[in-house]
Amino acid sequence: MKVCKRCEKEKRIWARGLCKSCDIATNPQKYMIERKKVEKKKTESVTQLKKKLDAIFSLYIRQKYADDSGNVECYTCGSVKPIKSMQNGHFWSRSHLSVRWDEDNCRCQCAGCNVFKHGNYIVYTTKLLNGIGQEGFDRLEQKKNTPFSPSKEWLIKQIKFYTLNTK
């Protein structure tokens, strides 16, 4: 142990006759570590991807049933409104992930039918049975009862598909 030239305390001497703390105080640049910000590629969570797919799939469904002027007829009440004021109504609830993004399960509905009349279920059921037939309806019901947990890869693939197929 030697005596530091600056603080005059008996300490282990580093460079130029100074202890470590005095050397840092007099020469801070020597000890500065350049920290490069490593930008992490933010990966989206499954929840974020589901929201993204919901939005693009809803637009796809509304465009699918729209006429050339951008108006859509409500599947259950028949009112005609622009695409932006319509919603993607699900026959089987969105909580059933296996049919959440199934085109047979979804039709355009006005907010009145989809939200306030809870999907206008009786009319929706009748029209859907006539539209896709009993076999299609049974297939949809069977698919609804099938457990499904979408992976990130599946969600990304679906987002790309529906993005390419929207106008």
Token pair of 3 as six digits: 């005596």
Token pair of 24 as six digits: 């840092």
The whole-angstrom separation of Cα 69 and Cα 94 is: 29
pLDDT of residue 23: 81
Three-state DSSP at 86 gives strand
Residue 78's closest CA among 68, 65, 69, 91? 65
pTM of the full structure: 0.73
Token pair of 107 as six digits: 């039709």
Q: How many CB atoms lie within 10 A of CB 101?
A: 24
pLDDT of residue 141: 95
Contact between residue 19 and residue 7 where contact means Cβ atoms under 8 Å apart:
yes
Tens digit of pLDDT at every position of the chain (167 positions): 788 888 888 888 877 788 888 888 887 777 777 666 666 677 889 999 999 999 999 999 999 999 999 999 999 999 999 999 999 999 999 999 999 999 999 999 999 999 999 999 999 999 999 999 999 999 999 999 999 999 999 999 999 999 999 98
Q: E-strand spans in 31-79? A: 71-73
The whole-angstrom separation of Cα 107 and Cα 127 is: 10
